[in-house]
Amino acid sequence: MAALAALALLLSGCGVVSGSTATSSQTGTRTIQDADGTSIEAPAAPQRVVTLSEPTLDGALALDVTPVGTTAGRGQTTVPGYLADRAADVPVVGQVATPNYEEIGGLHPDLILTDGTSINDDAVLEQLRAIAPVVVTGHAGDDWRDNFRLVADALGRADQGEDVIDAYQQHVDEVRAQLGDYQDQTFSIVRWQGSSASLILEELPPGQALADLGLQRPSGQDRRGEGHSEPVSLENLSEIDADYMFFGTLGGSSVGNTDAGGASDEAGAREALRQAVAVPGFTQLNVYQQQHVFLVDGSLWTSTGGPILMDALITDVHDTLIGDE
């Protein structure tokens, strides 16, 4: 509590006022019920938004809102790789689950958006609320649409949010209609880190994208997990096998070790595949022998995000399986 009080004093010295007082005299406030059921007095028209998760950054950008600060991508030291072209100039003010309070306060935000893919600690949320109103927009494993709708509502752009969702669904319908030859095949999604694999299951955005397209998962992956990737032991490496595989990496990094280095793009996936083929049993997998391992951007395929990520996944599936046919 002493640390929290000191933080509040520091921020007030920087000219940042917490809660609704900072905005009521400027643009007015409105009450928002966040994903935790908490009623938040937030600006009716926020001007300085900080996003502290990949889905909230993605969602804000999809709504033409550029945050004044954001978190690094999972297992990365910069913004998520797939958003680099849109958010390269947005300051990074923390890693997943570890925001930098002083840097956030220095940005003078009037709204902070986060979710359970990044922050699940009540003490962290309490300290953030000493800086500005905080809206928790969802939890790991939730339907991305529900989380995005709360992002759009918090930003005062609910109608625009529905337009984004409708455009995604139209894209899905167009691509799904072309995938008839693949409907009876199975598709694995794997994140390879060092010498081991993790499965991306149904609840993560890539799993939701394949489900939207009507593509099947192997029996061992046709299920929900706990809202994050699930490690596979080398003794059970056959669990990653399928007719086709989307194979990505976040380099050597992880949420707890973002400085380990390595790339998350397709070049990084190529290096990860080189490591994988040296692991006993990998080259015996049916998907490898059939040469059906597709190298993908790990920040897109093996992490989390919002509508920009989802739409890019649908495009990737189309370009990989259909191409110019």
pTM for this one? 0.87
- Per-residue pLDDT tens for 251-293? 754 445 444 446 888 999 999 999 999 999 999 999 999 999 9
The fold for domain 178-322 equals Rossmann fold (3.40.50)
The residue assigned the tokens 């009037």 is 110
Beta strands in the chain (DSSP E): 29-33, 39-43, 49-51, 69-70, 94-95, 98-99, 111-114, 134-136, 187-193, 196-199, 230-232, 244-248, 293-295
What parts of the chain have a pLDDT lower than 70?
Answer: 1-27, 227-228, 252-262, 324-325
Give residues with Cβ within 8 angstroms of 37, minimum separation 6: none
CATH-assigned architecture of domain 31-156: 3-Layer(aba) Sandwich (3.40)
Q: How confident is the model at residue 223, as a pLDDT?
A: 86
Domain edges within the chain: 31-156, 178-322
Whether 178-322 and 31-156 are alike in CATH topology: the answer is yes
